[in-house]
Structure 1
Amino acid sequence: MKQLPIGIPIVGSLAAFILILLALLAGSRPGFMEEYDLVAFNTSGLGQNLIINAGNDNDEPTPTGSGICDGVGGFLGRTCSSATAAVDSLQSDITDTVNDIGNEIADELADRLGIHEFYSLHALTICEGDYSPNATTSGADRNVTECHKGFTNGYNVSALLDHGLQVGPYKLTLADLGFTDEMQDAMDTLNTVLKAFTALLIIAVGFTGISMLASIAALFLIPRHERKTVLINLILAGTALSFLVLSGLIGTIAASIATDKINEKGDDIGLSANLGKGYLIITWIAVGLMLITFGYWLWQFLRYRNGKTTDPRGPRKYARDSEESGAAYGDRPNMRSTSGINFSRTRRH
């Protein structure tokens, strides 16, 4: 079989290293690869249950001035009637406003409560901001205003929301909005998952980078240290692939389960979460590239065990060994013919 070019593992590990490094650094500053988040929370409708409940209460407004002005005549009677009519009109306007919550006020709800419209969780950070042009527009862009440390300080979105609500104009808490213990448990689970995921991702980035450097070094080391070079590259590529797969599985499966639970429990209060598709794409592409790199070194290791060389210059060492053995034994001069000495026994007379 024809020798595969050694550029395959170099290109594969280099591309995998770049992709997984970008996945790690996404969101490290506001606006940098914002769309490559692991989980994003849409909080633009958070608290809508309070307003909807208020709207249900106001569907049948209680009489405000009925019977109050009866029996009052003259100027006072006219004044009383005008006042009660104004109150009824104001109450009607409030009811109409509440009924329009899904059309106009929903885009302003988060701002009125003192929180942002989205919170995106990346490998190292939590970014927050608002949607543009508004939260209800399909495919709205994200305008990031700030990013917080996530891996070192924890991915505690509920703490950020609670802080925003408390300093907002209404001085609310998440409990006031109906945030339950089950939802907090889901948030805590997601926090633990993301910490484990990021730790594995950092290790994967390190081993992928080392595997890339080892593949480059193999160009120069294989002619002199073939067995060790192939074995070391095989181990490094396998280790990098293992950590990439583990981080990918945690980021895909565990985060998906936590996201579904948050959506199930948060639907009533207007809180939703989405799993990031961009991150999943580049992560699994990196896994595929590292799998190619690992497969190359495994194939070369098996070839070496079968007695075939991996030296890109060809099977030089076998030819050299043959020449040396021939020079040492096969091409020796005939000592009897060249010495001029006759070792035959002479007969005495």
Structure 2
Amino acid sequence: MRFSALIPVACAMVAFVLSMLALFAGNKPGFMEDYNIMTLNTSTLGHVLVPTPTSSSSSSASSTSSSLGSFISSLAQNITNSIEGELASIEGDIADKLAQTLGISQWYSLHFMDMCQGSYAPNATAKHVHKNTTECSNQTAMYHFNLTQTLNDQLHRGGLNLNLSDINWPSEIQDSIDAANTAMDATFILFMIGIGAAGVSILAGLVAFLVSGSRLLAFGNWGLTTISFTALLITAIILTVVQGKFVHAINKNGNDIGIYAYRGTKYLIITWIAPALMFLASLVWVFEFCIGRKQQKREYTEKASYTKRSKWSRSRI
């Protein structure tokens, strides 16, 4: 038994667990919700529907100034400023309750195989806000995130009976989501390969631990860990690129109508740790292979030397 063989087994186990968590995060409300690929804040979506008092009040003040003189204009301006302050406060309350009025959730989070949604607590504008998850979709392999359809369905059921065209929904948002879905399909296949190879390498590593010095087992384990490392590394790269482009596209096209996207930093961390651990496991198996080769050479040399001495002894007799 070679205890150093347990090092790559331990690395593969941790990588396997992290990858499984990344795969099944969000499979039910509240389960690893912070470990999402990205979050969409829709608490102010549709704020363009809320009337602002600035334009109407300024035109009123202008007409007052022209008709009643500077004194009355000044008095009217003071009254207008007071009214604007009250309206701004009311507008803030409206914006905070806007999602509820429209019938949509305040946030939507994309996981690898599903989507979750919910509200912010204590409210969307609080400093120390946390998420209340109300619903998660059914987990599906190669899940396709269709935000446009989800929001349209909820808006139709809402109190105002609106659709996305009423809030000037940009088509570029769903276009970027569709591109992300295509990339995620390829990522799912790579993820499965990486997880599967890591799982097999755990079993093969335990066999290598029991059968000490087997170069064949060391080479086989190196192959498995290398396959897992490569697949998980490409997965992490694709997820990082998709996440960055998707968040940029959402914020570029959606901020004006009140939708904001945020990266899932914690999710990226565990998806990068997994290939790093498999790379370490692969290096250890290379070391095990080299050590096994040296042992075989030493055993061969000792055996040859012993045979030579035995022949010399017999020849002298």
Same fold (TM over 0.5): yes
* Structure 1 stretch displaced more, 138-147 or 95-104: 95-104
Partner of 1:126: 115
1:308 is the counterpart of 2:301: no
* Of 93, 107, 110, the match for 2:99: 110
- Offset at residue 302 of structure 1 (A): 4.1
How many residue pairs end up in the alignment?
296
**Does the 8 Å contact 1:127/1:144 carry over to 2?**
yes
Q: How far apart, in 1, do the equivalents of 2:249 and 2:90 lie?
A: 26
Give every structure 1 segment of 4 or more consecutive aligned residues whose post-TM-superposition deviation is greater than 6 Å: 93-97
1:244 is the counterpart of 2:232: yes
**Does the 8 Å contact 1:222/1:230 carry over to 2?**
no
CA deviations 1:222-262 (Å, max 9, x no partner) are: 44xx2211111111010000011111011112221111111
Cα RMSD, aligned residues only: 3.0
Structure 2 alignment gaps of length 5 or more: 61-81
**Does the 8 Å contact 2:147/2:174 carry over to 1?**
no
**Does the 8 Å contact 1:24/1:202 carry over to 2?**
no
Change (3 A) 1:102 1:327: farther
Give percent identity, aligned residues only. Answer: 34
Amino acid at match of 2:218: V
Q: How far apart, in 2, do the equivalents of 1:266 and 1:221 lie?
A: 59
Amino acid at match of 1:251: L
Q: Give the number of the structure whose residues are more often helix, by fraction.
A: 2
1:195 is the counterpart of 2:181: no
Partner of 1:167: 157
Q: How far apart, in 2, do the equivalents of 1:101 and 1:248 lie?
A: 45
Please give the residue correspondences for 1:195-234 in structure 2 after superposition, counting only pairs within 5 Å.
195-223=185-213, 226-234=214-222
Change (3 A) 1:199 1:98: farther
- Offset at residue 61 of structure 1 (A): 8.2
* Of 272, 280, 283, the match for 1:292: 280
- Offset at residue 197 of structure 1 (A): 2.6
1:146 is the counterpart of 2:145: no
Please give the residue correspondences for 1:333-344 in structure 2 after superposition, counting only pairs within 5 Å.
none
* Of 251, 267, 278, the match for 1:263: 251
Q: How far apart, in 1, do the equivalents of 2:282 and 2:91 lie?
A: 53
Change (3 A) 1:232 1:102: farther
The residue matched to 1:309 in structure 2 has which SS?
Answer: helix
CA deviations 1:73-99 (Å, max 9, x no partner) are: xxxxxxxxxxxxxxxxxxxx9977763
Partner of 1:32: 31
- Offset at residue 137 of structure 1 (A): 1.5
Q: TM-score, normalised by structure 2?
A: 0.83
Partner of 1:75: none
Q: How far apart, in 2, do the equivalents of 1:102 and 1:324 lie?
A: 94
Partner of 1:46: 45
CA deviations 1:295-323 (Å, max 9, x no partner) are: 1112333445xx4138xxxx884477348
Partner of 1:9: 8
Q: How far apart, in 1, do the equivalents of 2:28 and 2:99 lie?
A: 23
Please give the residue correspondences for 1:176-191 in structure 2 after superposition, counting only pairs within 5 Å.
176-191=166-181
- Offset at residue 57 of structure 1 (A): 5.8
Change (3 A) 1:196 1:55: farther
Q: How far apart, in 1, do the equivalents of 2:91 and 2:231 lie?
A: 45
**Does the 8 Å contact 2:41/2:107 carry over to 1?**
yes
Please give the residue correspondences for 1:9-88 in structure 2 after superposition, counting only pairs within 5 Å.
9-52=8-51, 55=53, 58-59=56-57
Change (3 A) 1:13 1:153: closer
The residue matched to 1:280 in structure 2 has which SS?
Answer: helix
- Offset at residue 60 of structure 1 (A): 5.8
* Structure 1 stretch displaced more, 200-209 or 235-244: 200-209
